[in-house]
Amino acid sequence: MTEVLWRDPAKGRLITCHRTPSGQMLDLLRGAVWGSRDTKYQILNIEAKLQRLRDPLYFVLSEHGEELCVFVLDHCRKPVGRSECDAYHFAMAATVRHRRNQGLAGILIDQIRPYCEARLGKPGLGFAYVESTTEFSLRLSDRVGHSIEADIALLLFTRFFPHEDARVGRIGREEIDGFRAALKDLYADHELVDVDASVNPDECFVYRRAGNVAAGVQAEVLRWSVESMPGFAGKLLLEGLPLVPGLKRVIDLRDLRILRFGNLLVPEGSEAEFFTVLSACLARHEARIGLIMLDERSPVLARLRRHGRFGLLSRGLNGSVKLCLDTVGMEPDLAARLANHPLHVSAADVF
């Protein structure tokens, strides 16, 4: 299905909306450089990433038939208080390299916003994760507009030699309902807790104590090709790693496997077991780096920082993003919940 949103015949420009990506769109996304001012990377498995979208829309600005700019949005549902909110996740955007900084993304976003607002059920919201040191992302976020912000910590969990553990295994079908219930209990003071929809049993691993689940996590494999990293540790990895025989087998920055950890089940007192799960997940996926994303206001984050050993690279390479939300047709009490409570970063939101 192709829907025309806007035309500029004088310049041969057209904005369209699609349900599936074209070959040109995929090429645009494959060539995009993501990340912040300091850490830049390309996504190597973009097709697999797009397959994780729940209900995607692809918005494209073309000129004389050439697709110049693409925005990918994901339609989903998010719980706020006792309400279920219609939502659009602004997942990713890319512009062809030779036309960047020409305002094309701004033209596209000016058409996307009213399109989504008209189709959002009430209450509704749009949201995006915006890297605070990326000028392009910040400009787009300002263009879209938002009324609520949350600071989301990006914590790296690193082990050069992660270990398997016999007490850690893939979640059993009979344990899934209990896993979801435990997550809801742990994040009862958070908003946007969509574990009913976001838990993927094929990606979940748990630590069992006396036959019972004591801790667990959902692990998604990301594949990046890193172009730049900040600080001394980043410089050492990028410039020194290729010179050391054998170390490239440990970390290959041109095909770097990172585990994105979501749906973190870490009840109070089980922090040691939780970090055992993270290490075992790295070992099973042949990865050395994991990524944790939690609201800075989350008590879970405070406990992990207090009790955890995150690894050699974590201190120099950790960062943050802003979760920016714009509400539509939402009662003030619901909007206040989003503004005043920690927000849960869904394992189903695509990065």
pLDDT average, residue stretch 285-299: 96
Q: Are 70 and 94 in contact (CB under 8 A)?
A: yes
Give tens-digit pLDDT for 26-42.
Answer: 999 999 988 766 678 89
pLDDT average, residue stretch 189-208: 98
Q: How far is CA 177 from the centre of its chain?
A: 24
Q: Are 188 and 173 in contact (CB under 8 A)?
A: no
Of 194-208, 217-231, 334-348, which gets the smallest average pLDDT?
217-231
Give tens-digit pLDDT for 96-154.
Answer: 989 988 999 999 999 999 999 999 999 999 999 998 655 444 444 455 557 899 999 99
Whole-number pLDDT of residue 253: 77
Whole-number pLDDT of residue 227: 80
Q: Identify the residue with better confidence: 135 or 256.
A: 256
Pairing status of strand 212-228 against strand 40-43: antiparallel
Q: Give me the half-sphere count of Cα atoms (radius 13 Å) on the Cβ side of residue 299.
A: 10
- In this prediction the pTM is 0.91
- In this prediction, residue 164 has a pLDDT band, given cuts at 50, 70 and 90, of very high
Of 57-66, 94-103, 143-152, 237-246, which gets the smallest average pLDDT?
237-246
Q: Which residues of 283-309 are buried (b: 16+ CB within 10 A; e: fewer)?
A: bbbebbbbbbbbbebbebbebbeeebe
Whole-number pLDDT of residue 1: 77
- In this prediction, residue 324 has a pLDDT band, given cuts at 50, 70 and 90, of very high
pLDDT average, residue stretch 175-194: 98
Whole-number pLDDT of residue 255: 85
